[in-house]
Structure 1
Amino acid sequence: MSISYSLYLLVAPLALLLLYRVKEPLAIDEGVSAPVRLVDEKAYESNSKPSSPYLSIEVVVPARDEEESIGVLLHSLSQQKTTNCSIRVTVIDDHSSDSTAQVARSYGAEVFQSDLLLPGDNPKARALANYQPFIQGDVVVFLDADVTLLDSHLIENLGKYLVLGGSDLVSIQPFHRCGSIWESLSLFPNMVALMGSGAFSLWNKRHSSKVAFGPCLAAMNHKYQEVGGHQGICHEILDDAALARSFTKSGYRVSLYSGSKGVSFRMYPKGLRQLVEGFTKNLGAGSAGASADAVSLTALWITAFLGSFLHVIFDLFNGEPGSLLLSTATLVLYILETRFLGKKIGRYSPIWYVLAPIALSFFVYLFAASLVKLYVLRSVTWKGRSIVIGGNKGEQRRD
């Protein structure tokens, strides 16, 4: 066996180690039925403290032109069960041109119109910053409009997890539903993001991370306000990663989980163009704040995967039959590993497991394009808006 094949086989288990805990659920020390009180009940009953002894949670949903998806989220929120907490839902309508606000009101959600948008702002971060002073509740949960809650106790459990000291900022990356072959090209961008976060590795029992994912975020409201919330990160391209940095810089802990059976989403229902636009906006910025060790190990695994693919091509035209058999077996090992892990984080088209080297090469292209946009062109586009990187020197426009 050549040295290169030995190295490929040695590196192959890295993905399994980095995603070892990817299906572990949120750990709530006292169980889902345990009551959580923020103040002493006797003191509350004697009127010595004015606040309620029960947990209040506000769910905040930033939305722009989401009339086709937001109803699914709001319906799942209406099915949430609680034992001793209250849930308030607010949709931030970010200059929508469709019926997003009307759909939100039809489900009983409060609607906040986000009017202020300054040059150089990340529109989503600015919309959340505009509403920040009005957030009510002990716990604030941020959900993207394309999310669907599958666990009927999820919101309350997030609140309990925070109150019981599980973390200071908790993030859940939803289970990814794909409705088309092109959407399934999200396989490696999502898989690599989870690997690079370091939160799911064999050696990280507490799911600690330096990054967070925006589709589902939760924090105690007073800590969120203390670190500056979204008002301090309006110019950041990746507001979720920036919020995680704000928490870690303040000495708070960030935890990251995978949605598995609790929460899901459909990222890019409009097809390949939307997918390319979304990932070229996010990938480069997301890697900057991730765990250096996890990112390095992930990069090594990607290199070995692609190297094994190139060896197959080389052996196909220049190698001996025995060498071709060995290189093919090595590549198949990586493909089977990808299928095993991919099924844990999403529902992807089987064709991209068979064509995994091509899907991985597409990820490398997206990552490179993201770096060019981030550091060379200094501009990204999302939902008809051009966001110029570099603070308030940019200019916002609608296309």
Structure 2
Amino acid sequence: MAQMIQLLLFLIAFLSGFFFLWKLPLIKQAKGGGLPASVSVIIPARDEETSLPKLLASLNGQSLDIKEIIVVDDESEDRTVEIAEEYDAVVLSTRESEYSVAGKSSACWLGAQHAKGDYLAFMDSDTQCAHKHAFKDILAQFKRNGDTGLLSIQPYHVIQSFYETLSIVPNIIVLAGLNRYTFFNKRIPERGAFGPFLFVKADEYFKLGGHEATLYTHMDGLAMADLYQKEDYPVTVYGGKNSIHFRMYPEGLQQLIQGWTKSFTYGAKVTHPMVMLSIMLWVTSTYLLLTGFIDGLLRSDVSYVFIILVGYLLHAVQFRWLMKKVGRFPWWTMLFSFIYISAFLLLYLWAVIQVYLLKKVKWRGREYKS
């Protein structure tokens, strides 16, 4: 009887993994010739000498003629400014800002105030265009959406080092947490957007207050989505596999921990209870398999151990299906979901300690009060 209950719980937990990230829309390829547009790209940058060249090179190679590329230097201490100038970008400094608040939103607002384009694209320095037609496709998608509102893309994660595989589960959870991709489609209220890539019309952006309204948060994607939704502007969010890629936290494990710490608990605030429940159930599935396997071994129940191993194989295939939605990760990681889910839980616990007990989050040499 206990074994049947355990298997039933695993089945429920396993099916939950299909619920919260059922279908992730991607930017579709533009049809026909180029579209008339005036696009300004704004890049907030703080100590980004490693990532910035890849982004600027990908922007300079776009088939869509980008009006201007604005790099807003946020008090960098490396070669960020020199690199931006080498790629003929317009360089601004947050020291020119009228606001005492430092950080990404302040840099984005400063860049927007100097931009001349009819459309504004805000890109994190660690992103890059997936191919030369990326902006052409994004603009076409925006126009298909009614040429209004906020278009956001969660970049597709492409890794280079082993430690970066620790971002597999966080990437999955962050996407699921917006309530946009469930099996129920739009029947659950959708919330939030992703700060690494935001695309808007300039006139609407300034009418709503833009990043000036998000100065006191480091989760600008969530704040911008709330800003647009409150005024009944559409917010659409896409996966970046066909358009925008990034390499998250290339500077090492410490940067990865700090980066995810600042994202987890704030993102959880917008997650619908039903989606949160499905995520929690899915997380338990790997532990149900582990306890079942140990139980079968202790009782020398070969048939039950075999059933558990079949369940583990199914879970591994599902894990691979989920991770391919969010990034390009080694195939063998699908066999170690227990390790990656456990790492996620430890990261989340540390985020809770930082945000709710220590009341501060550290990022890029700055401390943000929670």
Structure 2 equivalent of residue 60 of structure 1: 42
Relative to structure 1, the CA distance from residue 122 to residue 251 in structure 2 (aligned partners, 3 Å threshold; closer, same or farther) is farther
Secondary structure at 1:387 match in 2 = strand
Q: 3-state SS of the aligned residue for 1:2?
A: helix
| Structural mapping, 1:275-290, within 5 Å | 275-290=256-271
Task: State the alpha-carbon separation in 1 of the partners of residues 286 and 365 from structure 2.
Answer: 36
**How far does residue 174 in structure 1 lie from its aligned partner after superposition?**
1.3
Task: Tell me the distance in 1 between the aligned counterparts of 2:87 and 2:9.
Answer: 56
1:11 correspondence with 2:13? yes
Contact 1:62 1:144 in 2 (8 A): yes
**With structure 1 as the length reference, what TM-score do the two structures score?**
0.84
Amino acid at match of 2:5: I
Would the alpha carbon gap of residues 152 and 230 (structure 1) be closer, same or farther in structure 2, given more than 3 Å must change? same
Deviation of 1:118 (Å): 6.2
The alpha carbon displacement at 1:190 in A equals 0.2
Match of 1:25 in 2: 26
Local SS of the residue matching 1:170: strand
Per the alignment, do residues 302 and 90 of structure 1 end up closer, same or farther by CA in structure 2, a change over 3 Å counting?
A: same
Equivalenced residue count is: 366
| TM superposition shift of 1:240 | 1.2
Pair 1:135–1:359, CA change in 2 (3 A): same
Q: Aligned equivalents of 2:269 and 2:32: distance in 1?
A: 39
Q: What is the deviation of 1:286?
A: 1.1
1:263-342 matches, within 5 Å, as: 263-318=244-299, 320-342=301-323
The answer as to 2:254 corresponding to 1:253 is no
In the alignment, is the contact (CA less than 8 A) between 1:175 and 1:346 conserved in 2?
yes
Q: Which residue of 1 aligns with 2:143?
A: 163
**1:94 aligned residue:** 74
Q: Do 1:139 and 1:159's aligned partners in 2 also have CA atoms closer than 8 Å? A: no
What residue number does 1:2 align with? 4
- Displacement of 1:35: 6.2
Larger mean CA deviation between 251-260 and 158-167 belongs to 158-167
SS in 2 for 1:246: helix
Residue in 1 that maps onto 2:84: 104
Q: Which residue is equivalent to 2:125?
A: 145
Match of 1:133 in 2: 113
Structure 1 pair 58–206 and aligned structure 2 pair: CA distance change class (3 A) = farther
Contact 1:209 1:256 in 2 (8 A): no
Contact 2:28 2:137 in 1 (8 A): no
Deviation of the 1:349 alpha carbon:
3.5
| Bigger fraction of residues in helix | 2
Letter in 1 for 2:80: T
Contact 1:207 1:255 in 2 (8 A): no
**What amino acid sits opposite 1:21 in the alignment?**
K
Aligned to 2:57: 75
Instruction: Say if 2:347 is the partner of 1:366.
Output: yes
Q: Is the 8 A contact 1:57 1:159 kept in 2?
A: no
- Give the Å deviation of 1:319: 6.3
More deviation in 236-245 or 321-330? 321-330
**Percent of pairs with identical residues:** 29
For 2:295 and 2:365, the matched residues in 1 are separated by: 44
- Per-residue CA deviation, residues 246-274 of structure 1 (Å, 9 max, x unaligned), is 11112122111111132211001122111
> Counterpart of 2:89 in structure 1: which amino acid?
A
How big is each residue's C-alpha offset from its partner over 1:1-51, in whole Å with a ceiling of 9 and x where there is no partner?
A: 6022123123313333433322x43257xx432665xxxxxxxxxxxxxxx
CA contact (8 A) 2:70 2:111 kept: no
State how far apart, in whole Å, the 2-side matches of 1:235 and 1:97 are.
23
After superposition, the CA RMSD in angstroms is 2.5
1:199 pairs, out of 180, 190, 196, with: 180
TM-score by length of 2: 0.90
Residues 58 and 213 of structure 1: CA distance in aligned 2, closer, same or farther (over 3 Å): same
Q: Does 1:235 align with 2:199?
A: no
